Structure 1
Amino acid sequence: MNITKVIKASASGAAFALIVSLGNSVVAKELPAGTVISKANIDAIKNDTFEGHRVADLLTERTEWQVRSHNLQIKLRNSEPLELDPKYTEATKKYSKNVKYDPKTKEVIGWIAGMPFPNVSPDDPDAGAKLVWNRYLGFPVGDAINYSKFAFLLIDGNTGLERVQHWVLTRYMMKGRLTGETVEGDGSILSNTLLFATYPQDIKGLGTFTTRYDSPKVEDQWAYIKSMRRIRRLSGGSWMDPIGGTDQLNDDVENWNARPSWYNGFKLVGKRWILAIAHTSAGKGKSTRGSWNNVADSKKNTMEEFPYVDLKTAPYWNPNAEWEPKEVYIRLN
């Protein structure tokens, strides 16, 4: 009940109305950074605010479900803008004015480098597609991606961490480059990607080499089959295959990996504010601790080795990170 409205509605009964209001409502408050949202307090604080946003409005349906049903804990941090390479910003300003979207082919025409569509109107019937192309072509990775060591943690939700796999991912951009010429080669290839396992021994060496074209043509991909000691060419549908026996698909690499025109279409539903993991604990994309630390054998497969995964609390796969308000687009595909 809103105290101000009650007092205005009945001046003669203001004292009684004020007493009733104080006894039956909780005044919302602004939460400080560092507050942890958990199933123990979510009902008590969901009407409070953080950076001016109501907590209940920042939680998506599935995020709230994970808090209530799967022990997800959300530690709040003050938001910071995402910093971009000045060369990326300059490329966007220089080249985006000549980029077009063809709704018939669902392809982008005229992209050279940077973000293809920096100003997307929500009234544009092709807004959803343009935003996905921004993610696909305009993802600010620079001239190459090099994850020289990353891990898949294979977790049982009842018992915890079961296995760890070590992998390497290297992607060399052939177009959209920000250093030197924007294109290497004849312009037909968008990128070349090498993905392979290094641990444990039974999968060490298993991997793929992928050539991605800047066209609707499906990727050329080859795999090294360790048990056969042979290289085999994969089918064009391998972009939806799982990686190394995990639940992650090739299309999940870097969150979105497939060419947008391979999908039937996209619809922009709107924009909203959510809580997201956008920075590490030290902020600005840097951290005083690693996401994967070198530890003694006695501390292997613990949170000391993988500090950003809550390996102590069931279901053992929740992120151990800080969350901040971010405005995002909502789309359907």
Structure 2
Amino acid sequence: MTITRNRRIASAALLTATAGALAGAPSAASAEEVAEATVLSADNLDTLKDQTLDGIPIGEMLTERFEMWVRDYGLTMELGKTKEPELDPAYFEATAAHAGEATLDSETKKVEGYVAGVPFPDVSEEDPHAGYKLAWNHYYANPIMGDNWIAIGDTRVMEADSGVIDRFTAVSAKMLMEGRTTGEPVDLGSGDEHANYLLVLTEPYDVAGLGIFTKQYNTGKADDAWVYVKSIRRTRRVAGGKSWMDPQPKMDLLNDDNQAVNAYPLWYPEWEVVGRRHILTVTDAHNPNEANPLEDEVAMEPPYWNPINVTWRPQEVFVIEATPPEEHPYGKKVLYMDTDYPLIYHSEIYDKKGEFWRMWRQSYGPITAGNGAPGLGFIHTQAIDFQRERATYIDIVSNKLNTPKLTADSFTPRVLQQAASGQLEELAE
């Protein structure tokens, strides 16, 4: 898979300039280019919107919801030019080696012939099945998940007028059972297993073990799920059919919001690509495995969830509207996925009435994977409930990717009991 974003930026700037000239409006080519490290804020937003960054009008890179965040909630954004993140070469090698093998059934929308890497590396927004192909790309080949991944987050719940109201430690982890790219075998377990997934709280003591372990399948079969029952100190299997739609413990998130979408794609009735554009994202923040105090990451003033000390850079994305099933709490998710690989930068979430409800987003930074390869990790996850004016901020204190010691045998429902007894952190060493 070839990285072509810089050419796309140049093309986008040329198209914008041409359109502007034809319309008699100021073109991107004639607009003033902002200097790197310029800070966008509510005070200068109207001035900067018509200026450019990497030749792209800044106003065109702000979604309606981000502009609202800047104007109404004081978000400031230090601007910088595009930088390409570095990923494990094995990820791209697997994609190239198996290019064209995966196909999408036009009737069932199921994937056949997938082996490893990104199943559909060259998706055009004109393709009538583009939304489904991108959904499958993310399901099989989200680049920050790798073959295995585990993250420990110092988690805070914040209210806009009073700041932090709750704090606890959460661990999220995933073991991919198919399509593995960092060494043999490509598949683990039985042929229908997709991944094992964990979300659990480990501190303080009174909530340790609260969470869920699920086995996910590539056939659409309902997840198998386990929880830890603290009163009897035992792990118990539970009905997992709808657990993917359940709220995450104590957070402004659903299980389905992990990495923007954490569901078998066909559980969503519709995936539609509605456009292609540039947005501002964070891809080169500090290493998540290096300690940073919260006051260096989030502004310590209302609304208490605005990220600081990061640089926002242009990235070209597909805009995807995902329609959940009727029983899902959400009415719609709008996802912003990189056009070169299936990394989602943020999602805008709407309720059943069609009103804007929540935003999920992550800031990313470079890491070295456990196998020594370059990788991309996230330094924090934000879930902002704009209707309730509160947010969950997950500050990542450990993010491990492709750790050789983490195997399918070490990643079973018993990790819930390990979490309750304070032993789970050993998996992230």
The normalised TM-score by structure 2 is 0.64
1:313 to 2:317 alignment:
no
1:271 to 266, 276, 279: 276
Provide Cα deviations, 1:216-263, integer angstroms capped at 9, x if missing partner.
111101111324544341331010101112111100112221111101
Distance in structure 2 (CA, Å) of the matches to 1:275 and 1:61: 13
Q: Which residue of 1 aligns with 2:109?
A: 106
Provide Cα deviations, 1:53-96, integer angstroms capped at 9, x if missing partner.
11111111110110000011111122111322111111101113
Q: Which residue of 2 aligns with 1:259?
A: 264
Give the direction of change, closer, same or farther, for the CA distance of 1:256–1:102 in structure 2 (3 Å limit): same
Q: Which is bigger in relative contact order (C-alpha 8 A, separation at least 6)?
A: 2
Q: Which residue of 2 aligns with 1:183?
A: 187
Q: What secondary structure does 1:84 align onto?
A: coil
CA contact (8 A) 2:53 2:80 kept: no
Q: Which residue of 2 aligns with 1:163?
A: 166
Q: Which residue of 1 aligns with 2:319?
A: 330
Distance in structure 2 (CA, Å) of the matches to 1:103 and 1:319: 42
CA contact (8 A) 1:96 1:111 kept: no
The sequence identity of aligned pairs, in percent, is 38
* Larger displacement relative to structure 2 (66-75 or 315-324): 315-324
Distance in structure 2 (CA, Å) of the matches to 1:45 and 1:59: 11
Distance in structure 1 (CA, Å) of the matches to 2:307 and 2:107: 41
Q: What secondary structure does 2:170 align onto?
A: strand
* Larger displacement relative to structure 2 (223-232 or 72-81): 223-232
Distance in structure 1 (CA, Å) of the matches to 2:306 and 2:203: 23
Distance in structure 1 (CA, Å) of the matches to 2:57 and 2:231: 55
Map 1:25-174 to 2 at 5 A. Answer: 28-140=31-143, 141-147=145-151, 149-174=152-177
1:208 to 203, 206, 212: 212
Provide Cα deviations, 1:34-53, integer angstroms capped at 9, x if missing partner.
11111111122211111111
Distance in structure 2 (CA, Å) of the matches to 1:222 and 1:308: 34
CA contact (8 A) 1:117 1:131 kept: yes
1:238 to 2:243 alignment:
yes
The residue type equivalent to 1:331 in the other structure is I
The residue type equivalent to 1:265 in the other structure is E
2:197 to 193, 200, 203: 193
Structure with a larger share of its residues in strand: 2
Distance in structure 1 (CA, Å) of the matches to 2:43 and 2:232: 53
Structure 1 stretches of 4+ with a deviation exceeding 4 A read none
CA contact (8 A) 2:215 2:225 kept: yes
The residue type equivalent to 2:250 in the other structure is G
Distance in structure 1 (CA, Å) of the matches to 2:141 and 2:114: 9
Structure 1 residue 164: deviation in Å?
Answer: 1.2
Distance in structure 2 (CA, Å) of the matches to 1:84 and 1:115: 13
Structure 1 residue 28: deviation in Å?
Answer: 4.1
Q: Which residue of 2 aligns with 1:6?
A: none
The residue type equivalent to 1:242 in the other structure is P
Q: What secondary structure does 1:133 align onto?
A: helix
The residue type equivalent to 2:99 in the other structure is S
CA contact (8 A) 1:39 1:71 kept: yes
1:247 to 2:252 alignment:
yes
- Unaligned residue ranges in structure 2 (runs of 5+): 1-29, 323-429
Distance in structure 1 (CA, Å) of the matches to 2:294 and 2:281: 23
CA contact (8 A) 1:223 1:234 kept: no
Q: What secondary structure does 1:314 align onto?
A: coil
CA contact (8 A) 2:214 2:240 kept: no
Q: What secondary structure does 2:119 align onto?
A: coil
CA contact (8 A) 1:71 1:313 kept: no
The residue type equivalent to 1:267 in the other structure is E
Provide Cα deviations, 1:284-324, integer angstroms capped at 9, x if missing partner.
xx47x83x54xxxxxxxxxx2463222x1211112222210
Q: What secondary structure does 1:166 align onto?
A: strand
Distance in structure 2 (CA, Å) of the matches to 1:305 and 1:47: 34
Distance in structure 2 (CA, Å) of the matches to 1:254 and 1:225: 27
Map 1:285-300 to 2 at 5 A. Answer: 286=287, 290=290, 292-293=291-292
Name which one, 1 or 2, has greater alpha-carbon Rg: 1
Distance in structure 1 (CA, Å) of the matches to 2:191 and 2:270: 26
Q: Which residue of 1 aligns with 2:371?
A: none
The normalised TM-score by structure 1 is 0.82
CA contact (8 A) 2:171 2:202 kept: yes
Structure 1 residue 194: deviation in Å?
Answer: 2.6
Distance in structure 1 (CA, Å) of the matches to 2:39 and 2:106: 45
Give the direction of change, closer, same or farther, for the CA distance of 1:34–1:163 in structure 2 (3 Å limit): same
Provide Cα deviations, 1:89-125, integer angstroms capped at 9, x if missing partner.
1110111311011232222111111000001122211
